[in-house]
């Protein structure tokens, strides 16, 4: 692991070492559109953290893998998987170096609260034909600027998810920004559900 990856791992280990022991929750886009999930197949939770998305996917009967740079986060997920009685493959890796083989296409990929634009370019190739991408993360046009990353490199521009995943068929997209009555709707984040048709 290079120096940047080691620094990132240490940072996230510290973050997750101090988190609650309450069960992790799935992101809104996955919970809202869980009825689109297939009844079988392979799923990947990217930058899974404590694994709320992975737990939901595994409970739906999907053969689930969870990828994160932090072994502390993965240990927390392993404990929760035991509690829920589900099997989840844990992959400790940085997205910059993670490679799946051609045989390891996924029917579902979920990414939440994470943005690596280089990795986004590779995500469509990880999806099997008919595979679904669920993506939700923070935007620059936020109603609460203290929510999410402070570094603008990790915040989406307006409409950016549509550009990043232009090769996929968009099924659902929400990016409300600060328009209208900000007490309603998903704010601070954008979400996308897209289909790999090829």
pLDDT of residue 18: 65
pLDDT of residue 15: 65
Who's near 45: CB < 8 A, 6+ residues apart? 51, 53, 54, 57, 64, 65, 66, 67, 110
Question: Does residue 75 sit in helix, strand or coil?
Answer: helix
pLDDT of residue 89: 96
Who's near 119: CB < 8 A, 6+ residues apart? 46, 95, 96, 98
The CA dihedral of 139, 38, 53, 163, to the nearest 10 degrees, is: -20
Overall fold of domain 3-195: Rossmann fold (3.40.50)
Cβ count within 10 A of residue 153: 8
pLDDT under 50: residue ranges of the chain:
none
Predicted TM-score (pTM) of the model is: 0.89
Q: Counting Cβ atoms within 10 Å, is residue 168 exposed (0-12), middle (13-18) or buried (19+)?
A: buried
CA-CA distance, 123 to 117, in Å (whole number)?
A: 10
């Amino acid at each position: 692991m290079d120096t940047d990856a080691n620094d990132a791992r240490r940072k996230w280990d510290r973050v997750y070492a101090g988190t609650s022991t309450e069960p992790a929750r799935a992101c809104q886009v996955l919970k809202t559109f869980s009825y689109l999930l297939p009844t079988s197949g392979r799923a990947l939770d990217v930058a899974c953290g404590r694994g709320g998305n992975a737990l939901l996917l595994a409970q739906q009967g999907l053969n689930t893998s969870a990828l994160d740079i932090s072994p502390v986060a993965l240990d927390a997920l392993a404990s929760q998987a035991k509690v829920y009685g589900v099997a989840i493959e844990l992959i400790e890796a940085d997205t910059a170096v993670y490679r799946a083989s051609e045989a390891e296409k996924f029917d579902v990929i979920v990414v939440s609260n994470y943005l690596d634009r280089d990795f986004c370019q590779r995500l469509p190739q990880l999806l099997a034909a008919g595979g679904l991408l669920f993506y939700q993360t923070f935007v620059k046009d936020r109603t609460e600027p203290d929510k999410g990353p402070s570094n603008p490199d990790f915040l989406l521009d307006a409409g950016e998810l549509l550009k990043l995943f232009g090769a996929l068929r968009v099924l659902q997209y929400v990016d409300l920004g600060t328009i209208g009555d900000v007490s309603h709707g998903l704010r601070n984040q954008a979400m996308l559900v897209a289909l790999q048709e090829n």
